[in-house]
Structure 1
């Protein structure tokens, strides 16, 4: 049995300050770079990505793997025309050369927007379907932040989103999708499918599956799937993509149309019943720092949610850092500050040197003037250790640990969301020993940092990944979509 395996992942923020170009797929932080067929299998095998799970499942089943191409870039603005077409062409050319195949597995994100295609994964799946024809099964994994669209669901035989946020089950869901693909091949006929769109957006800070109400929704999802469906796919939506497919969606695949419809309706009802719980939970940076300083013990973890590199932020805004300094924080550490110029200046000065920098602010024009001591330098290469990315290589370019008063800042040359303690540890800084740990992240940090935290606070300092998406200047959402849970005002109404 011949199974083609490839991937193309990006989470696109329509209002982020910088677009995502081809070069961003060549040097992503925390994930492998663009891979072509010869090196794809061996490079991905030890990582946490979905394709690694699919590779293991296919090999266990005795299938022959035909590698295509795999690419990931950190979330940012929409993908350029050049990047989308070049990477799509690499994947599709390899698929064409691999024919005939018995099935196709794709490792996708589901919230990619390109300059030409707001539903970029839908377009990619359409092109893959055009190459293999109507009868060859296609399975794909999705990030649960996917804006899953009807086109995606029609073009694939099954879509399998991760069940967790933080995403600690990517390999497992890759294996599940591959196993369902093999079942679909053996079945020789498609499953029935039902699709539902939910009529309100959920802020990403309220999408965490470790806490309510999403924990309850996902528990109900599993029970409903066990009763009715082969796969009950629920995507929470990425509420920063300005197109008509933005938002929550459900796709159910089942043995009968009646069962698929029942599964979709039951899950939609569970989400509706918990709608009010998805609002709130974020405080201003000033309040978060004051509360952390008043805490009887540490570490208190503060999430700088609005500059989350995992949501399209550039990782270089300075609002939270400025507040830590203003309030005289001691024993605090912040990561990462994405500023290649500042990192280069630290490397030029050397360890032990005192430097004055216009730090950060390259994306928003608001750098912070600081004077500090360069404590450690590194090449930014390390291996992730936490539940979400264990085994993944990180390459953040020249990196420095700068002490500014009582605050230590990890300065990097390429952005990465701070979801792994190794971003501190590779510089000799132990997060558990700090009084305050500030991370540029919204939720993913919880997988590795919440177990060591005395308290977790989510703070809103300036940045493009706004905690309340309803404040964004949307123009292309579908009419009738509500921009906040519990708010009956509708887009276009």
Structure 2
């Protein structure tokens, strides 16, 4: 008789310094995540996406396993998950586990993020795994996949039989990670007990921007990780950590499952740990970033891309700060290259609604963006006021085509392209990370034809924009997501954890 495996998912990356929380409505919107879904509808909606649970389901089908679907819940990164939202999601999953046990259950697989913090819990995934473990007992396997930015806690390691994390950033291997989770579960079922586990916690935080596997040093670190997997017969993970969660176990963790786990981990740990200077980050102030980009763009045939990293909605910001827009206007970027400078996506439902009410071609006076609280204790830059031309409108139904698309379509609500002093501004009633060129195209901006693009993203944009970019710069405009973890007002981080490499 084939094993019966309960499957479910809970995804939230929590920036405890961010201004907005993830309530139950946020999980039902989903935005760039699939919205909350339960039961067989979950299987149908998620089975073909680039998402870990889809990869696990494919691996399960290949092995002839029977799947018992629970629920999937994901919300855009933000501040804490509300108590109500966490208890609703955990209640569905544990309730389904209890019901499945009555029918016969052999194992549990969960698609988790690993950096969720609830209002009442610093370690939301550890708590969820513990509740599931209390139901299934010590002998039934629990396996989970994690985001590469997981802050892996000891409780998570203790409660799960095996954990495995993404190996790419931008995360283009999410489905592949689900398949690796299926391999780990198969190994666990065949062995009849847990494989040896070796774990090392790194004593320093890594800025998000240096974690990208498209550049060094992360590129070669993860190549060596894959080689060590093969050479030692282990399944290894390096969770680089989410460095904006004020919890005691924030930070990078390296681990491996398998008989030769210790040797593999020791080898990779040495590569990661020294020299620590390899992980240091170079960023530019907003006007310096724009000035540098304009100089490069003058002689380039492809766009220069600037990452507005501290307003990245994929890391807890609200995608509505104006520091980079102020810089573009101050440096007269739109006058130098009229209609060839674009910024997006700016979360401004009021501006999007006003544009739709006025219609394409209209001129409207607006105050764009918002001054929001930041980790410095001071607000971000003030809104940008001016008379804008409505260049294009969009209904927010966007078919994504880039490597980062977890599901084929996203629903953003009303969208528009506004032009102010030659700068094109893509505004939306929702806050997607600018990780796919189709988000610009949806409002008539052709990214390949631009001289300068400002993307509200830290790293994920590289998957779709690096192939067209002449150069990529990182800007540090005021916002809720710190480019440098040392800038954050930590309270719970241990004194021996270095805030930067």
**Fold-level match, TM-score > 0.5?**
yes
Shift of 1:268: 1.6
TM-score (normalised: structure 1): 0.95
Q: 1:120 aligns with which of 119, 124, 129?
A: 124
Structure-1 residue corresponding to 2:167: 163
Shift of 1:262: 2.2
Larger deviation: 357-366 or 295-304?
Answer: 357-366
Shift of 1:179: 2.4
What is the alpha-carbon distance in structure 2 between the residues aligned to residue 40 and residue 453 of structure 1? 37
SS of the aligned residue for 1:310 comes to helix
Structure-2 residue corresponding to 1:38: 40
Residues 110-162 of structure 1, C-alpha deviations (whole Å, 9 max, x = no match):
11111111111111111111121111111111111110111111111111101
Structure-2 residue corresponding to 1:64: 66
What is the alpha-carbon distance in structure 1 between the residues aligned to residue 29 and residue 487 of structure 2? 32
- What are the equivalent positions in structure 2 for 1:344-359 lying under 5 Å apart? 344-359=353-368
Shift of 1:465: 0.9
Does 2:424 correspond to 1:427? no
Structure-1 residue corresponding to 2:432: 416
- What are the equivalent positions in structure 2 for 1:45-444 lying under 5 Å apart? 45-99=47-101, 100-255=104-259, 259-295=260-296, 296-297=299-300, 298-329=302-333, 330=337, 331-361=340-370, 363-364=372-373, 366-389=382-405, 391-444=407-460
Shift of 1:413: 1.0
Q: Kindly indicate whether the alpha-carbon contact (under 8 Å) linking 1:205 and 1:281 is maintained by their aligned counterparts in 2.
A: no
Shift of 1:78: 1.0
What is the alpha-carbon distance in structure 1 between the residues aligned to residue 227 and residue 24 of structure 2? 42
What is the alpha-carbon distance in structure 2 between the residues aligned to residue 224 and residue 183 of structure 1? 18
Q: Kindly indicate whether the alpha-carbon contact (under 8 Å) linking 2:237 and 2:256 is maintained by their aligned counterparts in 1.
A: yes
TM-score (normalised: structure 2): 0.94
Q: Kindly indicate whether the alpha-carbon contact (under 8 Å) linking 1:402 and 1:411 is maintained by their aligned counterparts in 2.
A: yes
What is the alpha-carbon distance in structure 2 between the residues aligned to residue 211 and residue 118 of structure 1? 32
Does 2:448 correspond to 1:447? no
What is the alpha-carbon distance in structure 2 between the residues aligned to residue 326 and residue 229 of structure 1? 56
Structure-1 residue corresponding to 2:376: none
Shift of 1:362: 5.6
Residues 299-352 of structure 1, C-alpha deviations (whole Å, 9 max, x = no match):
001110010111111100001011111212131111100011111111111211
In the alignment, structure 2 segments of 5+ residues that lack a partner are 374-378
What is the alpha-carbon distance in structure 2 between the residues aligned to residue 407 and residue 206 of structure 1? 29
Give the 3 Å change call, closer, same or farther, for CA 390–422 of structure 1 in structure 2: farther
Structure-2 residue corresponding to 1:7: 9
SS of the aligned residue for 2:185 comes to helix
What is the alpha-carbon distance in structure 2 between the residues aligned to residue 474 and residue 350 of structure 1? 47
What is the alpha-carbon distance in structure 1 between the residues aligned to residue 170 and residue 329 of structure 2? 29
CA RMSD for the aligned pairs?
1.3
Runs of 4+ in 1 over 6 A off after TM superposition: none
What is the alpha-carbon distance in structure 2 between the residues aligned to residue 239 and residue 476 of structure 1? 13
